[in-house]
Amino acid sequence: MLIDFFYTLRAARLPVSVKEFLTLLDALRQGVIGPSVDDFYHLARLTLVKDEALFDKFDRAFAAYFKGVELLTDFGKEVPLDWLQKVLEKELSPEEKAAIEKMGWDELMETLKKRLEEQTERHEGGNRWIGTGGTSPFGNGGYNPQGVRIGGQGRNKSAVKVWEQRAYRDYDDSLELGTRNIKVALRRLRRFAREGSDLELDLDDTIHSTAANAGLLDIKMIPERHNKVKVLLVMDVGGTMDEHIHRVEELFSAAKTEFKHLEFYYFHNCPYDFMWKNNKRRYSEKMPTWDIIRKYNKDWRLIFVGDATMSPYEILQPGGSVEYNNEEAGAEWIQRLTNAFPKYAWINPEPQGVWDYRQSIALVQQLTHHRMFPLTLAGLEGAMRLLSK
């Protein structure tokens, strides 16, 4: 069985060696773990994967191979079905939606506090309590123009706060592109210079020197050419960006190929006082944004990648972040970053036709002085031309 698992990992282009696989088998023989799928997952990842950038690829291969195995485990306790199902999914007409009033930020937070103190049981389909369905501003599965999503999946992209700790996955920078167009567009930003030891043949100078030396070969070498452009890539991840994962991975993969000096960080919706390098450890390994600003000088080109689709409160309001109570508004951090790195651009994977209908996109456009470009070939070429000036 595990031989097939080994070949599944190799088919997923994971660099798993026979020696590492034998280490896994030896650990199993020694009884390092018990009969648990979760324990085996952690042991297999520990012994077979040596690069954290490959964790997501390993997770997908593992899930594809062992799908359904965890269902064989007897947990001894049944989870009530009504905890897991949306019993009611109410469809409202445009007129009914327009009649629902949205609360202001302060009123919304104060009302949520009161509901938490008063509510004692589960509710569904209403317009007041925390529950599912209905038009209440608190809960999930219903409709409200501005509310707090508590559990469940997003439906209308109108939540100004999300009450749960969400897990995002890192973008895969090794994704093979189906087209070279993105790479070609990014090459407009490359700036070459020769430095270091002599490693490359200078053909023209060799011919000229040989001719001047009466035909005796006189080889001339020159330093190798390197791309000198330094790029700081900060990427929005999770939430509405899940719809654009594949295209952003293509961009990320191309950037890793084309730019020798590339640093990247993640944020969610809007940059705040910290960013991170690994989404699975984003709460334990935070990088203060002030440290990022101090670490890189003005020579670095700053590229934001994000759909800028969020509640306007996340940009304008202290405490407006969908995930935590930020002390300063997102607009303050966008301005600090753009001031620190004068050569910057914002790449937006959302279709340009919807930009005029998103208030948050208009706000980000203003904050970035309309240096926002669509994630298209023409958009990337325009951004690279701007950054190369």
385 with 188: CB under 8 angstroms? yes
pLDDT of residue 9: 87
The pTM of this model reads 0.54
* CATH number for domain 228-387, candidates 3.40.50, 3.40.1180, 1.10.10, 1.10.3470: 3.40.50
pLDDT of residue 159: 55
pLDDT in tens, 281-305: 787 889 999 999 999 999 899 999 9
Q: How many CB atoms lie within 10 A of CB 179?
A: 10
Instruction: Give the separation between CA 355 and CA 360, rounded to whole angstroms.
Output: 9
Q: Which residues pair with 278 in a beta bridge?
A: none
pLDDT in tens, 192-228: 444 455 566 778 888 888 888 888 888 887 765 555 7
Residue stretches of the chain with pLDDT short of 50: 68-85, 87-88, 163, 174-179, 192-195
Query: 227: closest CA among 251, 254, 194, 256?
Result: 194
Tokens of 381: 């070429």
**Type of residue found at 160:** V
pLDDT in tens, 237-274: 988 899 898 888 888 888 888 888 889 999 999 999 99
The contacts of residue 298 (CB under 8 Å, 6+ apart) are 340, 341, 342, 343
pLDDT of residue 177: 38
pLDDT of residue 115: 66
